[in-house]
Structure 1
Amino acid sequence: MTTFQLWRYVRFLALWLLLCSAALAQSAPTTLQVGPSRTIKTIAAAARVAGADTLIEVDAGDYLGDVAVWTQPNLTLRAVGGRVRLLANGAAAEDKGIWVVRSPKFTVEGFDFEGAQVAGRNGAGIRFDSGWLVVRNCSFTHNEMGLLTGNDPHAVLEVENSEFAYNMRPDGHNHNLYIGQIARATVTGSYLHHARTGHLLKSRAAQSNILYNRLTDDGGSASYELEFPNGGVAVVVGNTIQQGPLTENPVLISFGAEGYTWPVNQLSLAYNTLVDDLPQGGVWLKVKPGADAVLAVNNLLVGTAPLQATTPGDFRNNFTTDRGSLAPGGDYRLRTGSPLRGKAIALDKTLQAQREYSHTAKSIALDIAPHNPGAMQRLLARQP
Structure 2
Amino acid sequence: MSGTVPDRVLPSPHDDPASRRRRLLLAGAGLSLTPWMPAALAQGGSRPVLKVGRDHPVKTLAAAAAQAKPGMTLEIQAGEYPGDVAVWTQDDLTLKAVGGRVRIPANGAHAQGKGIFVTSGKRMTIEGLDFIGAKVPDRNGAGVRLERGSLTLRDCRFQDNENGLLAANDGSIELLIESCDFGAIAPGDGHTHNCYVGAIAKLTVLGSYFHHGSSGHLLKTRAAVNHIFYNRLTDETGRASFELEFPIGGLALVMGNVIQQSPTTENFHLIGYAGEGLSHPRNELHLINNTLVDRRPQGGVYLRMGRPAQALRLINNLLHGKQELPAGPDREQHHNYFVGLDAFVDADRYDFRLRPGSPLIGRAVDPGAVDGQSLRPAMQYQHPCGLKEVPAGTAYSPGAFQV
- TM norm structure 2: 0.86
Counterpart AA for 1:333:
R
Q: Residue deviations 1:180-214, cap 9 Å, x none?
A: 00000001100000000110000000001110000
Q: 1:330 aligns with which of 334, 345, 350?
A: 350
Contact 1:222 1:247 in 2 (8 A): yes
Counterpart AA for 2:325:
L
Q: 1:359 aligns with which of 383, 389, 393?
A: 383
Q: Residue deviations 1:192-238, cap 9 Å, x none?
A: 00000110000000001110000001100110010000000000000
User: Within 2, Cα distance between the matches of 1:158 and 1:370?
Assistant: 30
Contact 1:287 1:310 in 2 (8 A): no
Contact 2:189 2:215 in 1 (8 A): no
Aligned counterpart, 2:249: 231
User: Within 2, Cα distance between the matches of 1:52 and 1:188?
Assistant: 27
User: Within 2, Cα distance between the matches of 1:293 and 1:26?
Assistant: 42
Displacement of 1:169: 5.2
Contact 1:287 1:311 in 2 (8 A): no
TM alignment of 1:370-381, pairs within 5 A:
371-378=396-403
Matched, 1:339 2:339: no
Distance 1:322 1:24, change over 3 A: closer
Distance 1:91 1:309, change over 3 A: farther
Matched, 1:299 2:321: no
Q: Secondary structure at the match of 1:152?
A: coil
Gaps of 5+ in 2: 1-40
After superposing on structure 2, the runs of 4+ consecutive aligned residues of structure 1 that deviate more than 3 Å are 23-26
Gaps of 5+ in 1: 1-22, 379-384
Q: Residue deviations 1:113-154, cap 9 Å, x none?
A: 001111111100000011110000000110100000001101
Distance 1:298 1:219, change over 3 A: same
Percent identical residues:
47
Displacement of 1:364: 1.9
Displacement of 1:365: 2.1
User: Within 1, Cα distance between the matches of 2:329 and 2:125?
Assistant: 39
Q: Secondary structure at the match of 1:327?
A: strand
Counterpart AA for 1:331:
D
Q: Secondary structure at the match of 2:265?
A: coil
Matched, 1:184 2:202: yes
Matched, 1:280 2:304: no
Contact 1:291 1:311 in 2 (8 A): no
User: Within 2, Cα distance between the matches of 1:29 and 1:185?
Assistant: 27
Aligned counterpart, 1:98: 116
TM alignment of 1:123-202, pairs within 5 A:
123-168=141-186, 170-202=188-220
User: Within 2, Cα distance between the matches of 1:273 and 1:296?
Assistant: 12
Displacement of 1:289: 2.6
User: Within 1, Cα distance between the matches of 2:206 and 2:385?
Assistant: 9
Q: 1:84 aligns with which of 102, 106, 120?
A: 102
Q: Secondary structure at the match of 1:130?
A: coil
Q: Secondary structure at the match of 1:209?
A: strand
Q: Over aligned residue pairs, what C-alpha RMSD do you find?
A: 1.7
User: Within 1, Cα distance between the matches of 2:315 and 2:253?
Assistant: 12
Distance 1:170 1:376, change over 3 A: closer
User: Within 2, Cα distance between the matches of 1:308 and 1:109?
Assistant: 42
Aligned counterpart, 1:7: none
Q: Residue deviations 1:82-131, cap 9 Å, x none?
A: 00001111111111000000001100100000011111111000000111
- TM norm structure 1: 0.90
Distance 1:148 1:25, change over 3 A: closer
Aligned residues: 356
User: Within 2, Cα distance between the matches of 1:72 and 1:289?
Assistant: 40
Bigger shift: residues 166-175 or 244-253: 166-175
Displacement of 1:170: 3.9
Q: Secondary structure at the match of 1:324?
A: helix
User: Within 1, Cα distance between the matches of 2:189 and 2:258?
Assistant: 28
Q: Which has the larger radius of gyration?
A: 1
